[in-house]
Structure 1
Amino acid sequence: MADRQGGQSRRTRQQRGPLSGSLILNRLQKHRPSTCQVFGMIALAISGGILLLLTALTMTATVIGIMVFSPFLIISSPIWVPFAALILFVVAGFLSMFCFGVVAVAALAWAYRYLKGFHPPGSDRVDYARSRIACTASHVKDYAREYGEYLHNKVKDAAPGA
């Protein structure tokens, strides 16, 4: 029993202390990868290398293409620039028309649901705003009536015979 405890304490001291060569080998043997993991890493390295090669070829072709076609683009730019601007405006017009149409349909659908009493999202804010507007209009009407009477009395005081 005492030997077992002494052996355990020596092992824990070895693990806590600086890493020795045998301890590193033991850890590597405990965590050695399976064959599936090895083949996966090989496949990953091969596919990564192929993708890196394709990236380099694409970049090279792009640079060569820019060098070859730049004179053509510069010479024909008086044709391309107005054409590109025309295409840009046409596409922007159609996109804005589509977006405004979608917004109009959504607004009409919301208003239809609101008027039918289905209480769509945001209807509580509309009801609150309507009540605030009605309350404010009532206050303005009362204030105008009181101020009108006040002005009418002022006119009678200024001209008693009127």
Structure 2
Amino acid sequence: MADQPGGSLPRPARPRSGLASTESSHPFRRRVQPHAPASSDAQLLVILALAVTLAALLVLAGVTLTVGFVALVAISPLLLITSPLWAPLGLLAIVTEGALLLCSGLAVLALGAGTWAHRRLTGRHPVGAHRVGYAYDAPGRGRFAGVSGHGTNHHGRGTGGRRRKDAAPGA
């Protein structure tokens, strides 16, 4: 056993029948457990490595923020001097973007209207398109034919098209 790498213990045999063992039902646990630290010294080493790594990352974050702030302070006079150039360029970019969006929207609208007109004039409009207003134009019909008065109340029971009287008279 001493010549095995990592000094791990051999695994117990799997049961041949009956319920599956805990080890076979959790293959991830089987991979993680042999690599877990065995002693408190190893756990202390892991915590120490984590602390050193986090401290290094904290120092790097601080250095990055400090360098960014110093660069902003150093370049701000140049930005202030050249601001008469940046303001009109920014305004021009905003106006150009707005015009581009407006033209694109109008192009899509024109394409849709042209497609609709072409289909309408060549007779390829959808079947029944000439009867779209039928439900509204028919005398004595509601929005949809035959639906009025056949709804359900909030309990899911049909109303039957008639209103029921209140249980308490005069209420």
TM bucket (normalised to shorter chain) is 0.3 to 0.5
TM-score by length of 2: 0.36
Instruction: Name the structure where helix makes up a greater proportion of residues.
Output: 1
TM-score by length of 1: 0.38
The structure having more radius of gyration, on CA atoms, is 1
